[in-house]
C-alpha cells in the first residue's frame, strides 16, 4: 500500500472510526507531528460538509496530496461503475482553488513581514510591488481555474 493510501486509511479507520484514538494518541504512538496534522486536516468533523472538509484539507500540504488521491480514486471507482463523478471533479477543482488561495495567503503574510522589516531601510516600495505582482498572478491563476472549471462543467452537460 502506498504512503498516501496508508495515511488515508489511517484517517478513515483510526480517528473517525476507532474509539479512543485521538491526535494525542497518534503522537504518543510515534507518528510525527506533520502526519498527525495531516490526519487532523483529513478527519471529518460532525456537521461538516464535504466541501468544507476539502477546503480544510487544502490548507495542509500533505493532506492536500492525500485528499487529491482520495478524490481521484473515488472518481475512478464511480466512473468504472458507470455513475456520475461530477461531485468528485467539482471537489478536485475546489481543492486546487483552496490550495492556491492558501499559498497566496502565506506569500502575502511573508511579504507583510518583509515590508515591516525593511521599511526602515527604504525597501518597502519594491517589496510591495513584488507582492502586488504575486497577487495579480495568483488572481489570474484562480480566475483561469474558475473559467476552466466552468467551461468543463458547461461542456460536460
Specify the pLDDT at position 136: 74
> What pLDDT was estimated at residue 1?
47
Distance CA 91, CA 79 (A): 15
What is the mean pLDDT of the segment spanning 55-84?
A: 91
Question: How high is the mean pLDDT of the chain?
Answer: 76
Q: What's the pLDDT score for residue 84?
A: 92
- Please say if the pLDDT value at position 96 is more than 70: yes
What is the residue whose three cell numbers read 478527519? Answer: 43
- What 3-state DSSP class applies to 19? coil
The reported pLDDT for the residue numbered 115 is 53
Task: Evaluate if residue 83 carries a pLDDT over 90.
Answer: yes
- pLDDT, mean of residues 74-97: 91
Question: Residue 129 half-sphere exposure, CB side, CA atoms within 13 Å?
Answer: 3
Write out the DSSP string of 33-81: HHHHHHHHHHSPPTT--HHHHHHHHHTSHHHHHHHHHHHHHHHHHHHHT
Structure pTM?
0.57
C-alpha cell at 84: 456520475
Q: What is the mean pLDDT of residues 70-79?
A: 92
Amino acid at each position: 500500500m502506498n504512503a498516501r493510501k496508508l495515511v488515508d486509511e489511517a484517517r478513515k479507520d483510526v480517528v473517525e472510526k476507532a474509539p479512543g484514538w485521538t491526535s494525542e494518541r497518534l503522537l504518543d504512538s510515534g507518528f510525527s507531528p506533520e502526519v498527525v496534522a495531516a490526519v487532523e486536516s483529513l478527519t471529518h468533523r460532525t456537521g461538516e460538509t464535504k466541501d468544507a472538509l476539502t477546503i480544510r484539507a487544502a490548507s495542509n500540504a500533505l493532506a492536500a496530496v492525500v485528499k487529491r488521491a482520495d478524490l481521484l480514486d473515488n472518481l475512478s471507482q464511480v466512473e468504472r461503475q458507470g455513475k456520475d463523478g461530477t461531485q468528485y471533479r467539482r471537489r478536485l477543482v475546489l481543492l486546487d482553488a483552496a490550495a492556491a488561495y492558501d499559498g497566496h495567503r502565506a506569500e502575502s503574510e511573508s511579504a507583510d513581514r518583509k515590508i515591516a522589516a525593511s521599511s526602515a531601510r527604504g525597501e518597502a516600495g519594491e517589496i510591495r510591488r513584488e507582492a502586488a505582482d504575486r497577487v495579480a498572478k495568483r488572481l489570474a491563476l484562480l480566475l483561469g481555474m474558475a473559467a476552466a472549471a466552468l467551461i468543463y462543467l458547461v461542456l460536460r452537460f
